[in-house]
Structure 1
């Protein structure tokens, strides 16, 4: 193996900027698209005819982005190398009738999205962000990135058992944030406020997809700043690394044996079954149109898919120093020890032996160490877009990621070097 790449803090600094500017999936794909545009990619519309010319393209649909780069020497049957990730994170999302309140407090009605660590949302200064749909059929992003809402925790004097029996939260009653005082709760107050914030004329917003986020920015942590704390690392860390890797490979100008692809989906946290999720038609449609736009046939499509490999990159669990018994006794992934290869024989992850060899080769090429993650047999693991991608498209898929602590918390924790190591491994994989 080559010497590991010298740690470039600039990559982690840029990740922090990416996390802060991406409070929602819609903002995340806009941030990724901005970086790809600077690397020479251009957006194409699904409603237009596509040409098969060389260079970088990307498609935006809601909170998902598919980007690909057609290199010199590509044929219609050239296989793809795909980095798969997801843009969504567990959070509190605004209900269709958001204006509520009780006992002199004005509140915003929210619904639980995915599986958040609910206690981590208590007593946090929260902003609100998302997508506003307008009367003329267009949409506008909005981001109120300042203290606006708060979910206040009950004082210990009113719950004397909380320290001995643990905190018990009712999802409906205990997680509705406050954002003001008064008994005059009126339908339309929140949307009118957001119209003003976004500079939209009153009454023009007719639909919305809004969610809350902690306004505390990402930060280095620890005596030597060797840790990174921040929001939505699951899984914007992988989206950022994949974007950086694709831009790097495209910028090299090399004649590649594969067509590198970034596929960042929405709705992984609730099953991926949507038009922007990994279990939807988006990826397959984009890959097929790429083949056909270069003059390919269905036979070329089948040949391309047969040689395609996807790295499903999502965060995994670093060994927790306070709960080491919850981990498999022989698999203890550590922070800053390189990306993890995720394995589960019941196909909760898609990795098999041949996939391991592909990832090992990429890491060896990049000079990046890697680790293996397996769940404790008594604590079944979650799953990812990996098995979905493999089953839906017949594509060989490998599950990988970065080991973190506090997964699904408002604020997660990883080693400051690991995002950079992951991006190097992904670039080596795409350059294959």
Structure 2
């Protein structure tokens, strides 16, 4: 297991946004930190609109608000100045991205290895300290929300999985690997750059072993143990963002329970542990096989069905006391939103038509472009679509709004960072 990092209140980070434009902040009074890169670092100029957004807390600057020297610098760290020459800080620059600059820090000091280790340490200390995730499989760094734009670092069992989602973070790959290895000493370290967002940065997808010997990795959620293949399984190898919701459903599920898009059984096995009789559906036979293996590992039973979920809801006449519907991202791009909302509505109608009176439904979306109100609207429309059937799902009450766990913080000015949302509802 990767050892936790001790947290102390004095190590908690103060927000950097109030420091933008204050060149003397943080370092100027420390004689040991006198090196200033503001004059030697290649700089880009930020238009007044971009400056206002930065000072308002948005860590992105769009291409229209950036004036780069000619020739434009390659992807990497640049200095940020207003069009009047005022120092704003440092950020990742990518001449090929519509998000031209991603803010890193207001300091004039170099963002060197020591700085990077401190950022990683503070993010990990937050998880292992006040968030109560010491030693747990969790997200250690969540990109902009942890002030390391484009950097995602997950701890799964005794392994680390790194994602670099922007071109600037790509240039730091060796530094990130070295710093994380020094801090966490993982048995296995994987680079898993398969996120669709890399395409917007004009980056290729790749997965490779950075260190260690690949093989099955074990990790825990509560008292359940799961096996995953970090190189080949979805996301970074586990659905860490749903961890708290898995545990919640283990407490509230009852009777006959249906887990749709079950994958390796995070919801299914938590509900089975809580005493529900579980059927789990996924279109991947490999996922169903892994579900059955994880069930045996924990001394549990779940019936796995390899089927398209939409077809299953059309053809199965069973009635359920508890349903979980957690589909993959149905709207990976903004242009997909209309069709995605129709698909969510169809799924909601299928779930409500199979849910007994008083039954519980957890209905989720991990699509960044689907907002909570959009998802609730799809639920309402889906419930209405069941009118006239022999169904108890024509109306419902919302008992809880759910989102990703606290190790996946969202940025208040980046709605996409709050990508996971869901509603626990009771059919009436």
TM range (shorter): under 0.3
| TM-score (structure 2 length as normaliser) | 0.27
Q: Based on CA coordinates, which of the two structures has the bigger radius of gyration?
A: 2
Higher RCO (CA 8 Å, separation ≥ 6 residues): 1
| TM-score (structure 1 length as normaliser) | 0.26
